[in-house]
Amino acid sequence: MYPLASFAAGLVFGLGLIVSGMADPSKVLGFLDLAGKWDPSLAFVMIGAIGVSVVAFRLAGKRAAPVLGGPFHLPTATQFDRRLVLGSLVFGVGWGLAGFCPAPAIVVYGAGYFKAVVFVAAMVAGMGIYEIAERLRG
Partner 1 sequence: MDWEHFTPWASLAGGVAIGIAASMLVLLNGRIAGASGIIGGLLRPVRGDIAWRVMFIAGLFVAPTFYQLVKQAPVPTIDATHAVVALAGLLVGVGTRYGSGCTSGHGVCGLARLSPRSLVATLAFMIAGFATVFVVRHLIR
Site for partner 1 in 23-52 (CB under 8 A): 23-27, 29-30, 32-42, 44-52
Task: Write the interaction track for partner 1 spanning residues 93-132; mark x where CB under 8 A is met and - where it is not.
Answer: xxxxxxxxxxx-xxxxxxxxx-xx-xxxxxxxxxxxxxx-
Query: CA 18, CA 24: separation in Å to the nearest integer?
Result: 8
CB of 44 to partner 1, least distance (A): 4
Among 89, 136, 137, 138, binds partner 1 (CB under 8 A): 89
Q: How far is the CB of 121 from partner 1 (least distance, A)?
A: 7
Contacts (CB under 8 A) with partner 1, residues 49-88: 49-57, 59-60, 63, 65-68, 70-75, 77-80, 83-88
- Kindly determine how many residues on this chain lie close enough to bind partner 1 according to the rule CB under 8 A: 116
| Phi/psi at 83 (5° precision) | -60, -45
Q: Residue 38 and residue 32: Cα distance in Å, rounded?
A: 7
Closest of 85, 115, 83 to residue 100, by C-alpha: 115
Q: How far apart are CA 49 and CA 31, in angstroms?
A: 17
Calpha distance 106→101 (Å, rounded): 9
